């Protein structure tokens, strides 16, 4: 069914957009702690799991240092 397929495509696009937004927010918060190591940046950018991104976003918001974030991620 074409309608069901389009709904699925829209939901997938929405989820990708949410993941992209969370990724940007995480990196922005981390940049306030200092330079984000390349391997951490790549790991965050390569992740599309919304639950993991939500966890990292909360962690980035409460971390007092890049080291703390990396250790707890």
25: left (phi over 0), alpha (psi -120 to 50) or beta: alpha
Assessment of whether the complete model's pTM goes beyond 0.75: yes
Residue-wise pLDDT tens digits, 13-26? 555 667 788 999 99
Which residue bears the tokens 């390569």? Answer: 46
**CB of 27 closer than 8 Å to CB of 44:** yes
Q: N- to C-terminal Cα distance for the chain?
A: 41
Q: What is the mean pLDDT of residues 22-50?
A: 93
Q: What is the dihedral of CA 57, 34, 73, 23, to 10 degrees?
A: 40
């Amino acid at each position: 069914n074409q309608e069901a397929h389009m709904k699925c495509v829209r939901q997938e696009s929405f989820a990708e957009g949410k993941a992209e937004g969370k990724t940007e927010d995480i990196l922005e918060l981390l940049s306030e702690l200092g330079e984000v190591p390349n391997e951490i940046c790549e790991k965050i950018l390569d992740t599309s799991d919304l639950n993991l991104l939500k966890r990292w976003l909360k962690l980035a918001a409460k971390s007092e240092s890049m080291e703390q974030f990396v250790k707890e991620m």
